Structure 1
């Protein structure tokens, strides 16, 4: 029997530094004091688990998984589970913190949480991924539940992953618990409209941002970095709004055309080939060129840290709507601001997923299901209301949209904590 053990955990990542810096800036603006920063900077609970996996060839590999519950002053934890080779505890800590602010900003009665397994799912069979998911779920089961912490899909996971998680948790409880996860298949309690909710939310606020800077969406141009769960839907919804998507990329490459890509044809091509590479309706370009394309709107919708000081000065888009979590570093934020680029922050732009996750959770608890039109309407209404609130706050206080959104969220979380009090 061959046994493989993962490499030691990586050191602290820049993404956690960025999350803590954003919190410190908000605490300073709000005048809340160092004790509030200390309380909100530290996760309330975190766990690291070993996940022994028997591979299809009989060998055994030991993976590492995490679940971090950053804050639950406003309700149970909420946050995705990602399967990615770059996952480490500091990344999960940062993502959990951003989930806290995201839920508070959209006035969803959740706290923030996040989880992940350090694994590249592309190198594993479906049967192996099921075994990873079920063992990970069993290890974190004491920490999750419909009134404790509700996972959802993220990078490298999908509705099938959530079905496995729900089933594993339910077997341990002796009855079906639909509300333990969101983003499930419709057949086991998922919500209509959930699959495209993050993308739809990104586009709803991106369109408002374009109008705010004086650009009509009809005829505007865009580039989308990442063509997965968020980027693909964002490209589709942008095209439906009349925006010409000139360039897209995925993990394998990128394509561009000056006339605008046929997104429906591109989606069909990706369904067959698995990548945008060699799409006949566009010319190949380097992936990093998508971030600096000459467009009105840029949607970075892959992973964190892709816009940094090394390329921020080359970004030509007038508006950047963060489809991913943390795609713009703190230092790059300053460069973009100095260059007149409006950044719609992740905790606002990509909050559509958690909003519809909340809708799914409510439906599961009530055993009553809404139509897709109802879900979409309620989602867009929430997103535009949040955009207007953040814009008004930013204008009144002369702050960037990111700092305004973070201040609003931090204050709501702090007020909830203050009124509940310390225990004991």
Structure 2
């Protein structure tokens, strides 16, 4: 069945336009009032901050940052903070919206939020990075909190950055407040299993999808675009299941070996500072998406699979470990080609699911073993995938539309119960 999506246009669609179109597509299959859809198409609150940071040479730089809260009908908002030179308000708005629907698919008591600072963190010393992290938290502290909005790591942020931010918030409020942020170091309230959760959750739904289409994971070929935390974890776990990882890439370039990469050696090269030091098996990064593989995992930035390259995608499963890697036009093309796309709001929801576990542990002061965390995550991801798959089959839609339908219905019911619509 062909999806009724717009054909190509000369206008490059940004992430904010993408998510609004995805909302409209799902709304066509739901009996939700128009006013409720319009509320969901826009963030409730967008904060722009400018804050000074003293650099190592004594100069002061002023950075621009954002915190966007999309919808808090179900509960406090939740979402990561990214440090990247390309961060824009529209990008953060879109990411906050995807977070609402990600939480909705996962059945979590959260709405969506997102934050970011326009900065190249690789250009900063550790001291400058710490001062930047603390400065950002000071600037947004009035709008976050354990019962308001709970940040987490995202692109180019990590547990240490979260630890500095949690400490700053705690100092401002005069009390140790681990529940203000998730993805922290374990010693100050972080959850065991959190660092691998996004990649682990992605692999869980890949395994379920593979069963549905009759794909044997033993020997299945895998390409991973983006070899950060999520991509690396997914690659390792799929290799443990018998898959053959043939291609990986990061911001410096891409590696490809049809007979299978030596994954431990690739990881060592990456951790030493340059993925490409692995060896001469290099290809252009754009080629990786179009390789003849069974499973493709886009785990980098948004908008990499478009109407231009989608006709050349050959994978049987595209599992979106990144946020927004596939444009709506590309969605239609991949669906028409019979390629299963596991959407971002399902495929990478393992991170926010274990962030929820961390928040619960912080609030109750009851901490779980890594095995318990992983078992809870496995059950949650399988349940979410099965719900999405059932909805897709029932309504004859793609998995992304089904996932949005589930989440939007849940948000609508919360807004209705609170008297918003």
Name the TM-score class by shorter chain.
over 0.9
Q: How many residues align?
A: 411
Q: SS of 1:230's equivalent?
A: helix
Which runs of no fewer than 5 residues in structure 1 stay unpaired?
1-11
CA offset digits 1:48-97 (Å, max 9, x no partner): 00022222122222211000010111110100000011111110110000
- 1:365 matched to which residue of 2? 363
Aligned mates of 1:340, 1:402 — CA distance in 2: 14
Q: SS of 2:81's equivalent?
A: strand
- 2:201 matched to which residue of 1? 201
Q: Is the 8 A contact 2:306 2:327 kept in 1?
A: yes
Root-mean-square deviation (Å):
1.4
> How far is 1:313 from its partner?
1.0
The answer as to 2:105 corresponding to 1:101 is no
The answer as to 2:417 corresponding to 1:385 is no
> How far is 1:13 from its partner?
6.3
CA offset digits 1:226-282 (Å, max 9, x no partner): 00011111111110111111000000011111111122222122222x2211313x6
The answer as to 2:408 corresponding to 1:410 is yes
- 2:217 matched to which residue of 1? 217
> How far is 1:28 from its partner?
1.9
Q: Is the 8 A contact 2:269 2:277 kept in 1?
A: no
- 1:189 matched to which residue of 2? 189
Aligned mates of 2:285, 2:277 — CA distance in 1: 13
- 1:227 matched to which residue of 2? 227
CA offset digits 1:288-311 (Å, max 9, x no partner): 111111100000001100111121
Q: Is the 8 A contact 1:27 1:36 kept in 2?
A: no
- 2:8 matched to which residue of 1? none
Q: Is the 8 A contact 1:51 1:135 kept in 2?
A: yes
Q: SS of 1:265's equivalent?
A: helix
- 2:274 matched to which residue of 1? 275
CA offset digits 1:182-205 (Å, max 9, x no partner): 000011110000000000001110
- 1:83 matched to which residue of 2? 83
Task: State the structure with bigger RCO (CA 8 A, min sep 6), 1 or 2.
Answer: 2
- 1:240 matched to which residue of 2? 240
CA offset digits 1:334-379 (Å, max 9, x no partner): 1111111110000000000000000000111111111101100110
Q: Is the 8 A contact 1:13 1:90 kept in 2?
A: no
> How far is 1:422 from its partner?
2.9
Aligned mates of 1:143, 1:263 — CA distance in 2: 42
- 2:3 matched to which residue of 1? none
- 2:46 matched to which residue of 1? 46
